[in-house]
Amino acid sequence: MPQVYGHMVHVTGPTSILGADGEEWKKLRKRFNAGFAPQHLITFLPHILEKSFAFLNNLDYFATTGRPFSLVKLTGTLTFDIITSVTMDVDFGAQKMDQPNEFTSTYHRLLETYASEQVDLPWFFTPYKEWKRRQLAKRVKETLTSIVQDAYTNRKHQGTKSRSVLSLSLEDNSDAITRGFIDEAYDQLSTFLFAGHDTTSILLSWMFYELSRTPHAMQAVRDELDNLLGPAAAIKETLRLWPPAGTARLTKPGAGIKVQTSTGEYDLEGVGVYNCAIMIQRDPEVYGDTANDFVPERWLQNETMTGAKQIPSSAWRPFERGPRNCIGQELANLEARLVVALVAPRYDFVKIGLGEVAVDGAGQPISDEKGHYKVASEMYPTRKVTPKPVDGMMMRVSLRYRATN
Ligand code: HEM
């Protein structure tokens, strides 16, 4: 839907796979599918592991100093390091807290220009922000373009080929390198950079938050680590409650698209359709009276669990469905499983600020009847007023044990 996609053009570029349509999209999707085949994804494991250990080092620092920190910032640099390493074979060292990397901070400052309710206003309402966004986008483009150019040279002179997004973007080139060709490769690279790290970092933050206030679920994750079932259910449930991405489509006039709902049939000819995953995935008709609760057990194929069999697949769509679904979903799952397997046994997280757990006079958490800790203030107020901004998942973390090696 151009009205939505247009806003993101400074992050994704005009020829991005996200905005492409028809034959152009098919060509791009086919090309990049090769980089996300299961047997190829497994080759990313050493990269993901290496970056996850750097993440553990950072958590250790906060555990030993007791300092509060923004979890979403920390997971953001982790997933940034992973995505740059697997899509362009470059290590920006984004997680080095004592030596902030310039490209990483420029990129995150660019993303922050979108984190405001004013984002939907035309540019002339927020001229300074628009100017700043363009400046930051220009600097990001300079760095990524030089990476594209270097990769092109290596490919041409040394025959270096891989199935990274960058390498796949350079396929189809004629002998002469043109500005347009480099720009297109840059658009795809920067799209994967954005789509492949922001989402996964949000997933990880919400998951550790929900686990921190649902002790039985955290215990199940720790118990189930051997077969990775526990993390899989926790990941799925986090994505149900807190889908980090979404989709909007413009229906073609004459395509005959109609939708049947409990209140009648609606004609969706030539309109913008926004699949609001956060509402669909909290539908009480499907998820019952625990629709708003974090209940990973619902996804375990256990006959005794209520609801497990009745959830229609279309009621869970964080990666969307059909041919335009998320190309990186298996990578996101792989990352999340690995990170939770390393982090869950080693640390306890405690939320501070918005969403922190309510305690009794003795300082003990107060549980509700469903086994969740009650929160003192909701992360997202449900009142019909402008919600407060989220606080970046401010946390404290403590070590459950010290690794000897
Ligand atoms: C928790 C993590 C993730 C979530 C929730 C997520 C969600 C989504 C959703 C909902 C779409 C469909 C958008 C639309 O229809 O307009 C999408 C598309 C896409 N995602 Fe993801 N994503 C995640 C991780 C990733 C990763 C790790 C990558 C890359 C490595 C990635 C790359 C893409 C790309 C390139 C598209 C466009 C696909 C196309 O149009 O053919 N995503 N994602």
Q: What is the DSSP string of 219-243?
A: HHHHHTTTTTHHHHHHHHHHHHHS-
In a domain, 366, yes or no: yes
In a domain, 262, yes or no: no
In a domain, 281, yes or no: no
Among 57-71, 85-99, 169-183, 285-299, which is the least confidently predicted range?
169-183
For the chain, the domain total comes to: 1
In a domain, 252, yes or no: no
Confidence band, pLDDT 50/70/90 cuts, at residue 309: low
pLDDT at 393 exceeding the cut of 60: yes
Instruction: Kindly state the tokens that stand for 96.
Output: 């080095």
What distance in angstroms lies between residue 356's CA and the mean position of ligand 1's atoms? 30
Report which DSSP code applies to 356.
P
Going by alpha carbons, the residue nearest to atom 39 of ligand 1 is 324
What distance in angstroms lies between residue 130's CA and the mean position of ligand 1's atoms? 25
What distance in angstroms lies between residue 75's CA and the mean position of ligand 1's atoms? 18
Q: Which residues line ligand 1 (CB under 6 A)?
A: 17-18, 29, 191-192, 195-196, 199-200, 203, 244-247, 318-320, 324, 326-328, 331-332
pLDDT at 188 exceeding the cut of 80: yes
pLDDT at 319 exceeding the cut of 90: yes
pLDDT value, residue 360? 93
What distance in angstroms lies between residue 336's CA and the mean position of ligand 1's atoms? 15
350 or 304: which carries more pLDDT confidence? 350
Residue 47, Cβ density class (10 Å: 0-12 exposed, 13-18 middle, ≥19 buried): middle
pLDDT value, residue 112? 87
Atom of ligand 1 nearest to the CA of 29: 41
Query: What average pLDDT does the segment 33-40 reach?
Result: 90
Range of the domain at 360: 2-246+315-399
* CATH code where residue 331 lies: 1.10.630.10
Going by alpha carbons, the residue nearest to atom 27 of ligand 1 is 196
Going by alpha carbons, the residue nearest to atom 9 of ligand 1 is 319
In a domain, 380, yes or no: yes
pLDDT value, residue 315? 95
pLDDT value, residue 80? 96
Contact 83, 193 (CB under 8 A): yes
Atom of ligand 1 nearest to the CA of 86: 30
Looking at the whole model, is its pTM more than 0.90? yes
pLDDT value, residue 304? 46
> Which residue ranges are tagged as binding site for heme?
326
pLDDT at 394 exceeding the cut of 90: yes
In a domain, 309, yes or no: no
Query: Quick one: angle between helices 229-241 and 198-212, nearest 10?
Result: 110
Q: How far apart are CA 236 and CA 243, in angstroms?
A: 10
pLDDT value, residue 399? 95
pLDDT at 379 exceeding the cut of 70: yes
What distance in angstroms lies between residue 401's CA and the mean position of ligand 1's atoms? 36
pLDDT at 402 exceeding the cut of 60: no
> Which residue ranges are tagged as binding site?
326
Query: ipTM of the assembly?
Result: 0.98
pLDDT at 389 exceeding the cut of 70: no
83-113: per-residue pLDDT in tens?
Answer: 999 999 899 999 999 988 999 999 999 998 8
Q: Which of 326, 337, 340 to mutate to test the pocket of ligand 1 (most atoms within 8 A of CB)?
A: 326
In a domain, 295, yes or no: no
pLDDT value, residue 305? 46
Query: What average pLDDT does the segment 289-306 reach?
Result: 78
Query: What average pLDDT does the segment 265-275 reach?
Result: 89
